């Protein structure tokens, strides 16, 4: 159905090799022939088969990306950055949304492997042995982005989640808060579950504050989850004066809940998010948040991959980027 290189060769009266040369830059082809070939390509509406080409070059120019949740403000932002940087390097990204489902991740990982993508970016939070084993056996550069590679020899690009949550908690404490609720992610999530929770805990303890079990609740980083968790927090007595969430989306959910119940932010409660996604500027009051350098993480992931694709620079293990608090309107000094 589609024209093949052979058809172009025949039509322009040259060999397939010449056509191939024209296709790949046109070095060592006379201008005259080049023109003839280009004309034939045009007339036949010919478009080279990426598949056949990949089969011989063993290169697909595709980077597979595993995202846990496409609707999350954090991941959609980081994805934009990845796409942009990949594109600038003449790579294309293939995105697969695993919806926090390990079986689905396994399936997509296998697909990427079969497609022979040149590299992969993984942003999963949960994992298991099957997945670790599969990734370990991969003969291609892999980068974990915004999550830690536990027990596998894979480079990860992260922030120091422990220190970031420590700093965030400290920030609220310095504002005069003593009763600080924490809305966290699944503790089995090493990076944004366990580490962030530990940071919160340590900061509280270091400052002589007690951990109130009622104030500590765990969800799944999504808006709805933040809302539900906050309902629980509001039933506490006494109520906390500040809420620290493990994601901006959760903080936004908590914010919505607080407003729905007739309270004011930051007058009645200070709310602090985590991620620094676009969400922080969308809600009112604007959300004070612990920022991850989202754009930079995407850019760094591609940069690293490009370096690995060119030569084997295998000495890096972790790249830890800087976090920082961006103050907006949702937190108040007591």
Partner DNA sequence: GTGAAAGCGCTAACAG
Partner DNA sequence: CTGTTAGCGCTTTCAC
Q: Is 55 in the site for DNA (CB under 7 A)?
A: yes
Q: Is 110 in the site for DNA (CB under 7 A)?
A: no
Under 8 Å CB-to-CB from 295, ≥6 apart: which residues? 77, 78, 81
Among 28, 45, 139, 237, binds DNA (CB under 7 A): 28
How many CB atoms sit inside 10 A of residue 31's CB?
8
Q: What are phi and psi of 146, to 5 degrees?
A: 65, 20
167 to 202, 207, 214, 244, 323: CA distances (angstroms): 10, 12, 22, 11, 9
> Are 5 and 19 contacting, i.e. CB atoms less than 8 angstroms apart?
yes
Dihedral sign for Cα 197, 149, 79, 223, please.
negative
Q: Is 136 in the site for DNA (CB under 7 A)?
A: no
Q: In this chain, which stretch among 10-18, 144-152, 178-186, 275-283 interacts with a second copy, using CB under 8 A?
A: 275-283
User: Could you tell me which of 108, 25, 17 has the C-alpha nearest to residue 65?
Assistant: 108
Q: Is 130 in the site for a second copy (CB under 8 A)?
A: no
Binding mask 56-75 for a second copy (x = CB under 8 A): ----x---------xx----
Token couple for 246: 């493990």
Number of residues in contact with DNA, rule: CB under 7 A? Answer: 29
Q: In this chain, which stretch among 4-12, 67-75, 259-267, 325-333 interacts with DNA, using CB under 7 A?
A: 4-12
Among 4, 10, 104, 132, binds a second copy (CB under 8 A): 104
Report the residue number, 51 or 235, with the smaller CB distance to DNA.
51
Token couple for 259: 């407003």
CA distance 221 to 213: 19
Report the residue number, 57 or 207, with the smaller CB distance to DNA.
57
The footprint of a second copy (CB under 8 A) covers 1-2, 45, 47-52, 54-55, 60, 70-71, 76-77, 79-80, 83-84, 87, 92-97, 99, 104, 108, 110-111, 113-116, 137, 139, 223, 252, 255-256, 259-260, 278-279, 281-284
């Amino acid at each position: 159905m589609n024209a093949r290189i052979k058809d172009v060769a025949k039509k322009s009266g040259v060999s397939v090799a010449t056509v191939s040369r024209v296709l790949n830059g046109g070095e060592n082809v006379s201008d005259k022939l080049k023109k003839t070939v280009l004309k034939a390509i045009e007339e036949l509406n010919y478009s080279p088969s990426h598949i056949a080409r990949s089969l011989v070059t063993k290169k697909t120019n595709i980077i597979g990306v595993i995202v846990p949740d496409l609707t999350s403000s954090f991941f959609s932002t980081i994805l934009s950055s990845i796409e942009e940087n990949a594109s600038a390097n003449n790579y294309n990204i293939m995105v697969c949304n695993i919806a926090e489902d390990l079986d689905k991740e396994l399936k997509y990982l296998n697909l990427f492997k079969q497609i022979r993508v040149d590299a992969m970016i993984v942003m999963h939070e949960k994992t298991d042995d099957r997945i670790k084993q599969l990734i370990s056996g991969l003969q291609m550069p892999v980068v974990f982005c915004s999550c830690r590679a536990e027990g596998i020899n894979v480079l990860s690009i992260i922030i120091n989640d422990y220190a970031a949550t420590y700093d965030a908690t400290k920030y609220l404490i310095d504002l005069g808060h003593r009763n600080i609720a924490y809305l966290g992610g699944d503790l089995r999530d090493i990076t944004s579950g366990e580490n962030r929770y530990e940071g919160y805990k340590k900061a509280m303890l270091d400052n002589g504050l007690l951990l109130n079990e009622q104030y500590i609740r765990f969800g799944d980083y999504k808006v709805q989850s933040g809302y539900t968790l906050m309902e629980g927090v509001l039933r506490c007595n006494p109520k906390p004066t500040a809420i620290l969430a493990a994601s901006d989306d959760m903080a936004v959910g908590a914010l919505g809940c607080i407003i729905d119940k007739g309270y004011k932010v930051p007058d009645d409660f200070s709310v602090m998010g985590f991620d620094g996604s676009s969400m922080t500027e969308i809600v009112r009051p604007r959300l004070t948040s612990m920022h991850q350098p989202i754009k930079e993480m995407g850019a760094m992931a591609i940069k690293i991959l490009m370096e690995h694709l060119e030569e084997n620079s295998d000495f890096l293990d972790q790249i830890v980027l800087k976090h920082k608090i961006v103050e907006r309107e949702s937190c108040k000094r007591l």
